Amino acid sequence: MQSSKTGSSVKVWDLFIRVFHWALVAAFTIAYLTEGEILGLHVWAGYLVFSLVVLRLIWGVIGTEHARFSGFVRGPGAVLTHLREVVSGGGKRYLGHNPAGGAMIVALLICLALTSGLGLLMFGAIYPDSALGDLAALFGLHGEMGAESLEEVHEFFANLTLLLVGLHIAGVVVESLRHRENLIRPMVTGRKPS
């Protein structure tokens, strides 16, 4: 794929990252929209979210250059510097995640892990004979009372995740406009202008 800016492109997002990203979008959307409505679908979507997060954590250690956490996780100082540069109209372009984008990925993974993990514990507390029943029992969660103690926290993290998703999308739009490049296309094709 040719870029009108440089005439060449480079592979940035590997197949795992692209499939992970869109599968996570679908699973979280399904889980969020089916809350309280279609329990079976909600639970399976939650299982998928949790599984995807675990796989992403593994891929963040052993994956390709731009997928590894060491390639994009920066300290608070780098994140704040990048945000100041964005506000002032400056800042450099990154092939992978910029420092703020890296911080957002970490925040999203944490919130998704907490949301889905708490949901799975709730399910185990309500259905002690399920595969998750023993896990819930380890945390002293039994029946409706145990599930109710987790419900508000589970919903809090689900809503926080949704807020972070909105901020993530806003960041993608801002960076796309700043650098005059479509940042969504590479999450489909894997390639960005070099």
Task: Based on DSSP, count helices (H) and strands (E) in the chain, helices before strands.
Answer: 7, 2
Closest CA to 101 of 8, 3, 7, 187: 187
Pairing mode, strands 191-193 and 9-11: antiparallel
Cβ neighbours of residue 9 closer than 8 Å, sequence gap 6 or more = 1, 2, 3, 191, 192, 193, 194
Q: Is the pTM of this model over 0.85?
A: yes
**Residue whose tokens read 């801002």:** 174
Q: Is the pLDDT of residue 149 over 80?
A: no
Residue 4: per-residue pLDDT: 39
What CA–CA distance (Å, rounded) separates 69 from 136?
A: 31
Q: What pLDDT, in 10s, does the model give residues 73-120?
A: 999 999 999 999 989 988 788 889 999 999 999 999 999 999 999 998
Give the residue extent of every domain in the chain.
9-189
What CA–CA distance (Å, rounded) separates 181 from 167?
A: 19
